[in-house]
Amino acid sequence: MSAAIQINDVTKRYGALTVLENIDLEIAPGEFVVFLGPSGCGKSTLLRMIAGLEAVDSGTISLGGDRIDTLPPGKRGVAMVFQSYALYPHMTVSQNMGFGLQNIGVAPRDIDRRVKAAAETLEIAHLLDRKPAKLSGGQRQRVAIGRAIVKEPQAFLFDEPLSNLDAALRGRTRLELAQLHQRLGATMIFVTHDQVEAMTLADRIVILNERRIEQMGAPMEIYQRPATKFVAQFVGTPAMSFLPVSGIEDGARGVTLDVAGAGRVETGVHLPATFARENASLGIRAEDAKVLTPGEDGVPLRVKVVERLGDRAFIYGTLSDGTDFVVEDAGRSTVAAGQEVRIGFDPDALHIFDSAGRAYHHTEGA
Amino acid sequence: MAESYRRSRWSHALFVVPYLIVFLTLLVFPLFWGMWLSLNKVDLFGGAEFVGLRQYARVLSDPVFHQAVRNTVIFVAVSVPVLVGLGLFLALALNRKTRGAAFLRGLYFSSTILSVTIVTLIWRIVFIPNDGLMALIFAGLGWEPIGFLSTKGWSLFSVGVATVWWCIGLPMMLLLAALQQIPADLYEAAALDNASKGRILTRITLPSIKPTIMLVAVIQIVMQFQLFGQALLMTNGGPAGTSRPIVMYIYETAFIRWDVGLGAAASEILFVIILCAAMLQYWISTRKEEV
């Protein structure tokens, strides 16, 4: 039921505008891959090209070893769940789910069996005779997933399917999707701009930005070792703080940086000799910095806002040179807006970016 | 404060009075006056004499009225399906974003803005014997010429052709608007569901625009029952009354023979026929959904 997907050198243009350029991607059978990126990065376009709803201008797409980019959408062996669900409004739930099977001439008895089985799985068996207008958003979403399941496709494509649900339902459906993937073991591609969905669902995240793949990797790899400044900025809430670097000095443990507003910062990062030292910057995630106890020596931070989330608090402030900085503190933090606190960094969790945005991290054992 | 908002006051009615005056004087009053007239023997110069339902008895026993009803029903039964079917065909064919389609949409709609005088003039030129377009075509093909406007059967047909040509714009535009309301992702879902063009038409497109098809049918039934100008100007109801519609019968009795009561009675009957036909159409097309 699950098959590998190969995308080779795929390019998509709308007139003079190139939306995707030379995309290469291999997805293993049964893998759950999430396309993540800002609006307009081409992630939905790439998914629609796999589905056959957009033409491929150059390059090839294969599913299970067979080239599919020349086939019509219905012949590709993929099923898609749309953001708007795209249920047929005048058909009942069971007709909606069975329509694709009817079209390929599956016997009515088999259609009935498959529709019922999928409905049981998704707990929508009691809705089979209703029309979409009589369903809630969450129920429609399940029907849309059910319509995909009954086709027993080689790959499932999801185009931001959770974005029309409220926060609570989105969280629950996310879990259910993860369970569904485990149960079916099918290849799934999921498009989203929501990094929480990407982090929680994906075996592998593909980050797209400005026509190309910025980075692909396991969720924690993307989070902890972003390949570029864009990825570092895009993934993680609150966003990583960036400080301008004015000088770099090599040391045994790693380089020591001169940072305006933070003084000399020791890092566990080794930079290659080819590293372009002009316009470099230092990236620090909120949880990799900490508020020091009074009297400890650290970097001064003027606190502007304290955001309390219960289990932890984010402290937003400015360094002495005016650069914005976020640091995480305990939920019971006593820090208040207007105060000046001292902060320290974990040298091994710092990221250094060159002027082109390429990232350098601490390497274990280096 | 909130209490005073909720309390209804007669002074609030002042806001709707201007419209109410127009509605009552131009719609409600004539409607009931027409009903009243149909119960009277009216002499334009001498006033009215109440005669009860005698005018209705006269109309219903008039063979000329029977013929006019038959003509009108046949005309509606043929022209409305043609208008809906052709309108749907044109809408489906022109529902695309090309310049050619936009031009043709404008072209097909342009006939709608012409006055009935111009429309009938054009079609008289087409159908007129000897020098008309049809006569020339028939002569060119070596066929026996047909007197389209003066032969039984053909005269009503000719009025129907002119009517369809004149009225096709509105059904086409309404159906086009309905087609453009169908979300594109339904078609994408259908493409992924392996649906053929025929299945997409019958299972996605037509069910999606069914309410508009129904609306167009009801509008056309109401409009075509009121056929008048084309018949008057093209055939004058002839030959031998075979193309005389009900409205023309009303016009002749009320405004040529000045038998106003009889004309009013015929009008009320037409009103009931149109009402029944529209309700029947509505009932037929909504019946299945109730199950």
Q: pLDDT for B64-111, tens place per residue?
A: 999 999 999 999 999 999 999 999 999 999 998 889 999 999 999 999
DSSP single-letter state for residue A141: H
Nearest to B191 among A72, A90, A91 (CB): A72
What are the extents of the domains in chain A?
Answer: 5-228, 237-360
Q: For chain B, how big is the Rg over CA atoms in Å?
A: 24
H or E stretch at A157: strand A155-159
CA of residue B110 relative to chain centroid, distance: 18
What's the confidence (pLDDT) of residue B259? 86
The verdict on a CB contact (< 8 Å) between B188 and A73 is yes
Indicate whether this model's pTM tops 0.80.
yes
3-state helix, strand and coil shares in percent for chain A, rounded to the nearest 5: 25, 35, 40
Q: What structural domains and CATH numbers belong to chain B?
A: 2-50 (no CATH), 55-290 (1.10.3720.10)
What is the fold, at CATH topology level, of the domain defined by A237-360? OB fold (Dihydrolipoamide Acetyltransferase, E2P) (2.40.50)
Q: How far is B181 from chain A (nearest CA, A)?
A: 13
What's the confidence (pLDDT) of residue A274? 87
Within 8 A of B192 by CB-CB distance, chain A residues are: 51-53, 73-74, 78-80, 100
Contact A300, A359 (CB under 8 A): no
Give Cα separations from B244 to B149, B153, B163 (angstroms): 12, 12, 14
DSSP single-letter state for residue A358: B
The answer to whether residue B277 scores a pLDDT higher than 90 is no
B5 pLDDT tier (thresholds 50, 70, 90): low
Of A220, A165, A161, A154, nearest to A190 by C-alpha is A161
Residue found by looking up tokens 């009552």 in the block: B24
Query: Which chain B residue has its CA at the smallest distance from A159's CA?
Result: B185
Residues A240 and A245: their CA atoms lie apart, in Å, by 15
Of A94-98, B9-13, B183-187, minimum mean pLDDT range: B9-13
What's the confidence (pLDDT) of residue B21? 94
3-state helix, strand and coil shares in percent for chain B, rounded to the nearest 5: 75, 5, 20
Q: Is this complex scored with an ipTM above 0.90?
A: no
Can you read off the two tokens belonging to residue A5? Answer: 């997907």
CA of residue B255 relative to chain centroid, distance: 22
Supply the mean pLDDT for chain B: 89
What's the confidence (pLDDT) of residue A278? 86
Q: What percent of chain B has pLDDT over 90?
A: 60
The verdict on a CB contact (< 8 Å) between B195 and A74 is yes
What's the confidence (pLDDT) of residue A237? 86
Residues B193-230: pLDDT tens digits? 999 999 999 999 999 999 899 989 999 999 999 999 99
Class of the domain covering A5-228: alpha beta
In order along chain A (366 residues), what is the average pLDDT of each group of 10 residues? Answer: 89 92 93 92 93 93 92 92 93 94 93 93 91 92 92 92 86 89 92 90 93 93 93 91 91 88 88 87 93 88 93 93 93 90 91 92 70
Q: How far is B185 from chain A (nearest CA, A)?
A: 6
A241-249 β-sheet, strand order: A263-266, A256-259, A241-249, A281-284, A351-353, A359-360
Q: In the 3-class helix/strand/coil scheme, how is B70-135 assigned residue by residue?
A: HHHHHHHHHHHHHHHHHHHHHHHHHCCCCHHHHHHHHHHHHHHHCCHHHHHHHHHHHHCCCCCHHH
Contact B219, B175 (CB under 8 A): no
The answer to whether residue B290 scores a pLDDT higher than 50 is no
Contact A22, A96 (CB under 8 A): no
Q: Count chain A–chain B contacts defined by CB atoms under 8 A.
A: 61
Residues B206-209: contacts with CB within 8 Å, 24+ apart? Answer: B207/A88, B207/A90, B208/A89, B208/A90, B208/B178, B208/B181, B208/B182, B209/B175, B209/B178, B209/B179, B209/B181, B209/B182
Residue B249, amino acid:
Y
* H helical segments located in B128-209: 133-140, 154-167, 169-181, 184-192, 197-200, 206-208
Residues B125-159: pLDDT tens digits? 999 888 888 888 888 888 888 888 888 889 999 99
The answer to whether residue B249 scores a pLDDT higher than 90 is yes
CA of residue B135 relative to chain centroid, distance: 29
Nearest to A103 among B194, B208, B210 (CB): B194
The answer to whether residue B3 scores a pLDDT higher than 60 is no
A90 touches chain B (CB under 8 A): yes
Of A312-316, B58-62, B212-216, B281-285, minimum mean pLDDT range: B281-285
Query: Which chain A residue has its CA at the smallest distance from B189's CA?
Result: A86
Contact B277, B79 (CB under 8 A): no
